[in-house]
Amino acid sequence: MIADNEIDLAASRALVIVACAALDRGESAGHETSIAKTFVSEAVGRVVDRAIQLCGGMGVSDDLPLARLAREIRPFRIYDGPSEVHRWSIARRASRRAEAS
């Protein structure tokens, strides 16, 4: 679970860097930011959930901040565009790129 958290965190950082690099080049970067937002907002939920599981009962107690974190990060998948809507945009852009190539 620790390894899976590291993988999710590393992939999240990489996708944010890709999106920021596209913005730095002056591109609209809608595709890259949608991919990063969707992945990171879902990855952070997986990371905290694994951390809770690793800690057992302590993980859901008020002695650790994990249960509070889990509650606070859940809206990440909803605001600034819910995951389903970002996936729709990502798929639409990917389809257009495939048609154009």
Ligand X SMILES: Cc1cc2nc3c(=O)[nH]c(=O)nc-3n(C[C@H](O)[C@H](O)[C@H](O)COP(=O)(O)OP(=O)(O)OC[C@H]3O[C@@H](n4cnc5c(N)ncnc54)[C@H](O)[C@@H]3O)c2cc1C
Min dist CB 56 to ligand X, Å, is 29
In the complex with ligand X, the residue whose CB is nearer, 44 or 59, is 44
Min dist CB 92 to ligand X, Å, is 11
Rounded CA separation 75/26 (Å): 29
CB of 89 closer than 8 Å to CB of 34: yes
Spatial CA neighbour of 7 closest among 66, 34, 15:
15
Min dist CB 85 to ligand X, Å, is 5
* Closest CB to ligand X: residue number: 82
Binding site for ligand X (CB under 6 A): 75, 78-79, 82, 84-85, 88
DSSP code at position 29: -
In the complex with ligand X, the residue whose CB is nearer, 63 or 84, is 84
